[in-house]
């Protein structure tokens, strides 16, 4: 990865003073390019992130983390790339192998499809995975948008319940976490599977405040739901989440390697606009070169938002430490 003077300045002046010495990142993707295969042009147009480069080897990850956080001890909860094009069997095995040789710096989740048998998932737990990472893109093709149970069958949840496993859940549907079906299903999951540790990815894809406002008040108080802030580059959302579901429910995630792209995000109502200097087909809305020259990684922008939110909440050092380390250490019993 490329390092520019702006990155060093942002890290040393803005981030480093407030980041804890130990960090747990609960949302990292690891895959070799050969696992991912080729994603068609039509599919790349479905989601801006597919074009950004989604493979990251274990060595690449550790190197990226040393570059991003040179003086910090970072541990990760890692999983493969959950897309249809990926050879999941190979990718899952690669994730497990890297976790096993990480000297307790990593834990792993199994990427599952709805076709996975419960015995395969049970075996995965016995081999050392901490839980599963299902994904809407792996739901069987249908006319409408999939619901949670379309890519996460109840048999999988029953097994997770038995193993008290971790579930990193990327919510489906255009309305994101604010979709009434998602709110109903999350409430039901929490009630029916009380031992499953449910981590709702990207605060339920609340990249913009109105999305969070239409959902989190209904989910506050559910005892086994947590929220990772990966790819949330919006201090308003993080501040609101802390106030609404509680500081102890919020976890740091990076969504590496996607968040290595440079730029920032503007939030307008319920939509966001990605600005970047990257050479992507969707990147047609550019800022002047002198503005782009100051772009740093999206991940640093996420951390800037976290720090801004923590300052508004008060006792910012403690807030950042809870989110970036203590909450996950407690949840995963990883001290
Ligand atoms: Zn992700």
List, for residues 313-329, the tens digit of each pLDDT value: 999 999 999 999 999 99
Q: Please give the distance, rounded to the nearest whole angstrom, from the Cα atom of residue 203 to the centre of ligand 1.
A: 12
Q: What's the mean pLDDT in 102-121? A: 97
Q: Please give the distance, rounded to the nearest whole angstrom, from the Cα atom of residue 29 to the centre of ligand 1.
A: 6
Q: Are 129 and 156 in contact, with CB atoms under 8 Å apart? A: no
pTM here?
0.97
- Phi first, then psi: give them for residue 24, nearest 5 degrees: -120, 125
Q: Please give the distance, rounded to the nearest whole angstrom, from the Cα atom of residue 28 to the centre of ligand 1.
A: 7
Instruction: Please state, in angstroms and rounded to a whole number, the distance separating the CA atoms of residues 258 and 230.
Output: 10
Q: What is the largest CA-CA distance in the chain?
A: 56
Q: Which of 69, 176, 73, 165 has its CA nearest to residue 112?
A: 165
Q: Please give the distance, rounded to the nearest whole angstrom, from the Cα atom of residue 290 to the centre of ligand 1.
A: 31
Q: Please give the distance, rounded to the nearest whole angstrom, from the Cα atom of residue 231 to the centre of ligand 1.
A: 8
Q: Which of 176, 134, 168 has its CA nearest to residue 151?
A: 134
What dihedral angle (degrees, nearest 10) is formed by the CA atoms of 59, 283, 306, 70? 30
Q: Are 23 and 73 in contact, with CB atoms under 8 Å apart? A: yes
Tokens 């989910």 -> residue: 219
DSSP character at residue 325: I
On the question of pLDDT at 53 being above 80, the answer is: no
> Which tens digits make up the pLDDT trace of 132-161?
999 999 999 887 899 999 999 999 999 999
Q: Are 6 and 295 in contact, with CB atoms under 8 Å apart? A: yes
> Residue 126: CB partners within 8 Å, gap ≥ 6?
none
Q: Is the dihedral of CA 19, 20, 22, 23 positive or negative?
A: negative
CA distances from residue 332 to 112, 292, 326 in whole angstroms, order as listed = 20, 39, 10
On the question of pLDDT at 49 being above 90, the answer is: no
> Which tens digits make up the pLDDT trace of 206-250?
999 999 999 999 999 999 999 999 999 999 999 999 999 999 999
3-state DSSP assignment of residue 44: helix
> Residue 84: CB partners within 8 Å, gap ≥ 6?
137, 138
Instruction: List domains and CATH numbers for the chain.
Output: 5-262+296-331 (3.20.20.140)
């Amino acid at each position: 990865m490329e390092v520019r003077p702006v990155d060093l300045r942002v890290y040393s002046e803005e981030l480093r003073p407030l980041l804890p010495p130990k960090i747990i990142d609960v949302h990292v993707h690891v895959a070799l390019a050969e696992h991912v295969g080729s994603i068609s042009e039509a599919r790349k147009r479905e989601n801006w992130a597919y074009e950004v480069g989604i493979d990251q080897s274990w060595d690449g990850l550790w190197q990226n983390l040393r570059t991003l956080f040179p003086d910090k001890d970072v541990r990760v909860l890692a999983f493969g790339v959950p897309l249809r094009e990926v050879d999941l069997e190979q990718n899952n095995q690669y994730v497990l192998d890297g976790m096993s040789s990480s000297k307790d710096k990593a834990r792993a989740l199994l990427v599952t499809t709805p076709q996975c048998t419960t015995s395969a998932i049970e075996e995965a737990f016995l081999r050392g995975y901490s839980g599963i990472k299902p994904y809407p893109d792996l739901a069987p093709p249908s006319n409408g948008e999939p619901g949670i149970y379309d890519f996460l069958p109840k048999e999988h949840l029953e097994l997770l319940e038995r193993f008290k496993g971790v579930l990193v859940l990327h919510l489906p549907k255009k309305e994101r976490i604010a979709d009434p079906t998602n709110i109903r299903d999350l409430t039901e999951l929490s009630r029916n599977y009380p031992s499953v540790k449910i981590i709702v990815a990207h605060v339920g894809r609340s990249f913009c405040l109105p999305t969070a406002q239409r959902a989190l008040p209904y989910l506050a108080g559910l005892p086994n739901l947590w929220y990772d802030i990966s790819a949330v580059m919006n201090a308003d959302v993080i501040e609101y989440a802390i106030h609404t579901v509680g500081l102890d429910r919020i976890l740091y995630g990076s969504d590496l390697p996607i968040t290595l792209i440079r730029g920032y995000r503007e939030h307008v109502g319920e939509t966001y606009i990605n600005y970047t200097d990257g050479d992507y087909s969707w990147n047609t809305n550019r800022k002047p070169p002198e503005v782009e020259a100051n772009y740093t990684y999206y991940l640093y922008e996420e951390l800037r938002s976290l720090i801004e939110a923590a300052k508004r909440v008060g006792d910012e050092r403690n807030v950042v430490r809870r989110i970036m380390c203590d909450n996950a250490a407690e949840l995963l019993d990883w001290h």
